[in-house]
């Protein structure tokens, strides 16, 4: 792969080549027999880092056997692994649930939880792999993802951990970025096996449930604003920011609004988008009196009454503010 085309598979930023090793094995599981020695040639192993997210990676084609994990049976029999599995099943009440070990390229399926032990780093597109797993999980489905720990590798200078089989080398931040971008929330992350493994316990993230509450609050606020406007013959709105133009677009009857006041000169003399209400300078409150002023300026609502007072108006308009989602009289 040419350097011009080297892009991070996680965030899409450019990769920077940090170093390279010559004459490296073409695969950790490619062990030549005697009659294969003449055709066994080494490869160039470039070690790169993403300029964006910082993920260390090897931008090469994966080994031919990456779609199926190759590991010793003893890998699952170690005491620390048994404890990891036992604690996981106990914590999430998985003893009678379907818990799948991802030992080959994931396909459409259905399971309650998954285990992916030092395998994610083999895939050419970890995001695609994790999103397939996510789609196989039910609501609140959980899993464990173990990967080689670059924090330990780099800190302790264990350079022999670099191998073509492992295309990605994660730290806590880079693994977090990947997991979040694939629709998971992280329950915990820890080091295992004397720091060789970075282990993340994760849960399928559910959509934020805000639609009903937003609609309920919208109905209340717009009703309160309309009721306030209906009390007067003329009202000025202070603030031509995004909050104001949003609320004006929802307002059914804007006939009582005389103009919009804004101290930003670039907005003065123009009109609100969609609703086309004139935007004027604060001094207009003196030359074109109104019965009331409603302040719509986000978190700066308590600053505006001071500005109105500094205008030394010859009258005292009724003042109210939109405080977040409430109409508050001053």
CATH number of the domain enclosing 173: 3.40.50.150
Residue-by-residue pLDDT tens, the chain, 330 positions: 444 468 999 999 999 999 999 999 999 999 999 999 999 999 999 999 999 999 999 999 999 999 998 877 677 788 889 999 999 999 999 999 999 999 999 999 999 999 999 999 999 999 999 999 999 999 999 999 999 999 999 999 999 999 999 999 999 999 999 999 999 999 999 999 999 999 999 999 999 899 999 999 999 999 999 999 999 999 999 999 999 999 999 999 999 999 999 999 999 999 999 999 999 999 999 999 999 999 999 888 788 989 999 999 999 999 999 999 999 988
What SS3 state is found at 184?
Answer: strand
Give the DSSP letter of residue 36.
G
What CATH number is attached to the domain comprising 268? 3.40.50.720
Spell 1-30 as b/e; 16+ CB within 10 A means b.
Answer: eeeeebebbbbeeebeeeeeeeeebbbeee
Task: Please report which residue ranges of the chain form alpha helices under DSSP H.
Answer: 79-91, 126-136, 150-155, 172-181, 211-229, 242-250, 284-287, 304-310
Query: Domain end: 182, 204, 226, which one?
Result: 204
The answer to whether position 241 is within a domain reads yes
Residue 152 shares a structural domain with residue 188: yes
CA 113, CA 100: separation in Å to the nearest integer?
6
Cα separation of the two ends of the chain: 66
CA 148, CA 145: separation in Å to the nearest integer?
10
The answer to whether position 310 is within a domain reads yes
pTM of the entire predicted model: 0.84
Residue 268 shares a structural domain with residue 188: no
The answer to whether position 34 is within a domain reads no
Cα Dmax for the chain: 102
The answer to whether position 20 is within a domain reads no
Residue 92 shares a structural domain with residue 198: yes
Range of the domain at 80: 61-204
Could you read off the pLDDT of 50-71 as tens digits, one per residue? 999 999 999 999 999 999 988 7
The count of residues in the chain is 330
Residue 190 shares a structural domain with residue 249: no
CA 278, CA 290: separation in Å to the nearest integer?
14
Say what the alpha-carbon torsion angle 97, 101, 105, 109 is, to the nearest 10 degrees.
Answer: -10
Structure token pair of residue 104: 């080959």
Residue 220 shares a structural domain with residue 321: yes
Query: Domain end: 204, 236, 270, which one?
Result: 204
The answer to whether position 35 is within a domain reads no
69 with 119: CB under 8 angstroms?
yes
The total domain count for the chain is 2
Cα dihedral sign for 203, 207, 209, 210?
Answer: positive
Residue 159 shares a structural domain with residue 224: no
The answer to whether position 313 is within a domain reads yes
CA 218, CA 322: separation in Å to the nearest integer?
13
The answer to whether position 227 is within a domain reads yes
Residue 68 shares a structural domain with residue 168: yes
Residue 104 shares a structural domain with residue 197: yes
CA 53, CA 55: separation in Å to the nearest integer?
6
Spatial CA neighbour of 143 closest among 195, 196, 182: 182
Query: Domain end: 165, 183, 204, which one?
Result: 204
Beta strands in 55-170 (DSSP E): 56-57, 99-101, 113-117, 142-148, 168-169
Residue 252 shares a structural domain with residue 299: yes
Residue 239 shares a structural domain with residue 303: yes
The answer to whether position 190 is within a domain reads yes
Residue 231 shares a structural domain with residue 294: yes
Residue 235 shares a structural domain with residue 270: yes
| Angle at alpha carbon of residue 226, lines to 225 and 228, rounded to 5° | 65
């Amino acid at each position: 792969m040419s350097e011009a085309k080297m892009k991070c598979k996680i965030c899409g930023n450019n990769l920077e080549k940090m170093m390279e090793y010559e004459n490296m094995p073409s695969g950790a599981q490619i062990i030549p027999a005697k009659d294969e020695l003449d055709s066994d040639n080494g490869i160039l192993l470039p070690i790169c880092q993403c300029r964006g997210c910082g993920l260390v990676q090897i931008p090469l084609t994966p080994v031919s056997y990456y779609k199926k994990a190759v590991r010793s049976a003893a890998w699952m029999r170690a005491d620390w692994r048994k404890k990891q599995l036992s604690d996981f099943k106990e914590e999430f009440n998985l003893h009678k649930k379907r818990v799948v070990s991802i030992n080959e390229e994931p396909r459409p399926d259905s399971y309650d939880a998954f285990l992916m032990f030092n395998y994610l780093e083999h895939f050419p597109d970890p995001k695609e792999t994790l999103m397939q797993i996510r789609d196989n999980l039910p609501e609140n489905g959980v899993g464990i993802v173990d990967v080689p720990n670059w924090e330990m590798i780099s800190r302790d200078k264990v350079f022999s951990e670099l191998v073509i089989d492992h295309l990605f080398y994660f730290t806590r931040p880079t693994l977090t970025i990947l997991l979040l971008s694939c629709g998971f929330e992280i329950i915990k992350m820890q080091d295992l096996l004397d720091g060789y493994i970075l282990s993340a316990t994760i849960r399928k993230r559910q959509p934020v449930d805000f639609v009903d509450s937003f609609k309920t609050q919208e109905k209340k606020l717009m009703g309160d604003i309309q009721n306030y406007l209906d009390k007067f013959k003329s009202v000025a709105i202070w603030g031509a920011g995004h909050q104001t133009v949003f609320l004006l677009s929802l307002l059914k009857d804007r006939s009582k609004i005389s103009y919009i006041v804004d101290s930003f000169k670039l907005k003065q003399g123009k009109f609100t988008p969609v609703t086309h209400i004139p935007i004027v300078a604060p001094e207009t409150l003196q030359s074109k009196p109104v019965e009331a002023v409603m302040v719509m300026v986000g978190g700066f609502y308590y600053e505006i009454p001071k500005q109105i007072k500094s205008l030394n108006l010859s009258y005292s308009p009724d003042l109210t503010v939109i405080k977040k989602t409430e109409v508050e009289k001053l």
